[in-house]
């Protein structure tokens, strides 16, 4: 039962990794003429985010998903 749950959670984490990769977040251009891109979900610019998850807005979907995934990963690591 616990093994099945771990497999299910690992499957879920791999789907999250495909859509919300740890290494980079989805971006979009800020505006015409602005050289920078921003987070697709919270509109904070890439330089302001500076590769730090906590620099995304609190409500950012990318941040929320990554924080949730990292919380779950801690439990998975505890089980092994």
Q: Single out the residue of 67, 80, 72 nearest to residue 20, CA to CA.
A: 67
Of 75, 54, 64, 72, the C-alpha closest to 20 is 64
Closer CB to Zn ion, residue 20 or residue 56?
56
Q: How far is the CB of 2 from Zn ion (least distance, A)?
A: 34
Site string for Zn ion, 2-41 (x = CB under 5 A): -------------------------------------x-x
Dist CA 58 CA 55 (whole Å): 8
Closer CB to Zn ion, residue 43 or residue 79? 43
């Amino acid at each position: 039962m616990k093994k099945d749950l771990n497999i299910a959670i690992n499957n879920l984490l791999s789907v999250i990794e495909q859509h919300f990769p740890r290494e980079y977040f989805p971006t979009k251009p800020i505006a015409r003429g602005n050289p920078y891109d921003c987070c697709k979900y919270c509109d904070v610019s890439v330089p302001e985010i500076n590769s730090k998850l906590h620099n995304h807005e609190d409500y950012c979907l990318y941040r929320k998903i990554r924080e949730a995934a990292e919380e779950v990963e801690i439990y998975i690591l505890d089980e092994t």
